[in-house]
Amino acid sequence: MMTDHQPYHILREKFRRDYRCEPGVIAYAPGRVEVLGNHTDYNEGLVLSAAIDVGTFFACGPRRDGTFRLTAADVDETVEFLAAAPEASRAHPWANYVKGVLAGLAHGCDAMFLGDIPLGSGLSSSAALEICAGLALARLYGIAVDPLDMARIGQAAEHRFAGVKCGLMDQISSLFGRNGTLVETDFRSLAVRNVPLGRDVCLLICNTHARHALVDGEYNRRREACEFSARYFATVLPHPVRALRDVSRQEWEAYRGGLSALMARRAIHPIGENERVMQGARLLAHNDLAGFGRLMYESHESSRTCFENSCPELDLLVEAARPIPGVLGARLSGGGFGGSVVVLTQCHAAAAAGAALAEAYGRAFGKPCDARILTPSDGAHVVMG
């Protein structure tokens, strides 16, 4: 039960104390881990991800004066603004994710949020905040919102208020998670299904605390490179090309000479990732977890050499994972440029693997990384109200 989470009780008590009333609604949204399929969502490709057992709670109650008062309970900062005219803030960037959601669901409100997703870890604390805020505000004001539309509202908040041109993977993963399964999403049709991960394996997340600031522009530049490459392939291939989803590895090999070496490397990453997700889903269906783990290693190598969205901290952990008994695969998770590595490991070996990885990281960088076992969990929902 989400009400067993400590952040829920802390948030509810602080809301009562600061706002002197009970919240009308509390919603919860989990973070997500991307297991296979890196930067494929905005290329209309496929992703395997999971909602996880850390997340964010959002509590709110109505106001009649058109003011939106929002508190980040972890840092005890509050901002106030007119609900009808939210604007992005440089002084309080954490508020932009909620402001962007409010642009789709505009009403006055007293609101507060708190969670336990490590910030900058690559587990998408931003999408969790967008989704729990959207669910809570929609319930508070009796607005019916389809889950995919809610995901789009969260994505629009990232685009227009945070400046990150993300796909829909983070929001969909948070909404459509189910206990013990991965979320397989086709980002062309937006078809979603839950795929069992297997009882004998679990996911280990190793947070490097390396800088993970996608708003610096690297994420957007990678997306621009993919879009540029797709436009090029549309001019040379004999079939329609709307996104890199429409380009095969064989077509890339045949026509990459028309791109610069850099653009060709950028393009093959999502093309190859899409193939790996399709193969990975087949391997999971046959319980070939060792084969699935090998695809995770291949995915990271492509991130490192082709897309160049890895970093020394992430690379060290992936290489350190290879010889550890019980570890089947490892790769960076999420946008990259820092954050976390996700490790597929046999459950009986997970604790020892986490300790070994933390020690290896400490030897290389002076302090251990954080390693914890993640449980694929249920998606976002209203907890109270």
pLDDT at 1: 55
For residue 326, the model assigns a pLDDT of 98
Q: What is the mean pLDDT of the chain?
A: 93
Of these residues, 41, 110, 170, 246, which one is catalytic? 170
Of 294, 314, 317, whose CA–CA distance to 303 is shortest?
A: 314
Better-predicted residue by pLDDT, 102 or 316: 316
Q: How confident is the model at residue 290 (pLDDT cuts 50, 70, 90)?
A: very high
N-term to C-term CA, the chain: 15
> What does the alpha-carbon distance between residue 335 and residue 37 come to, in Å, rounded to a whole number?
11
Residue (of 224, 174, 159, 135) closest to 34 by Cα position: 174
Q: Percent of the chain scored above 90 by pLDDT?
A: 79
Residue 106: the pLDDT is 60
pLDDT at 104: 59
pLDDT in tens, 169-189: 999 999 999 999 999 999 999
Task: Summarize pLDDT for 200-222 with one digit per residue, the tens.
Answer: 999 999 999 887 554 457 888 99
Asked whether the beta carbons of 268 and 225 are under 8 A apart, the reply is no
Residue with more model confidence, 367 or 107: 367
Q: Which residues are paired to 110 by β-bridges?
A: 61, 69
**Could you read off the pLDDT of 70-112 as tens digits, one per residue?**
999 999 999 999 888 888 888 898 898 899 888 756 678 999 9
Residue for token pair 């319930």: 139
- 358-382 mean pLDDT: 95
Active site (annotated) includes residue 246? no
Helix, coil or strand: residue 64: coil
- Residue 170 near residue 23 (C-beta atoms within 8 A): no
Letter for the amino acid at 209?
H
pLDDT tens-digit series, residues 6-54: 999 999 999 999 999 999 999 999 999 999 999 999 999 999 999 999 9
pTM: 0.91
- Condensed to tens digits (0 to 9), the pLDDT of residues 105-137 reads 667 899 999 999 887 677 889 999 999 999 999
pLDDT at residue 342 tops 90: yes
The one-letter code for the residue type at 239 is H
pLDDT of 216 reads 59
Q: How much is the pLDDT for 21?
A: 93
The whole-angstrom separation of Cα 260 and Cα 229 is 10
Distance CA 176, CA 141 (A): 23
What topology is assigned to 2-37+49-193+378-384 in CATH?
Ribosomal Protein S5; domain 2 (3.30.230)
pLDDT of residue 215: 43
Q: How far is CA 38 from the centre of its chain?
A: 10
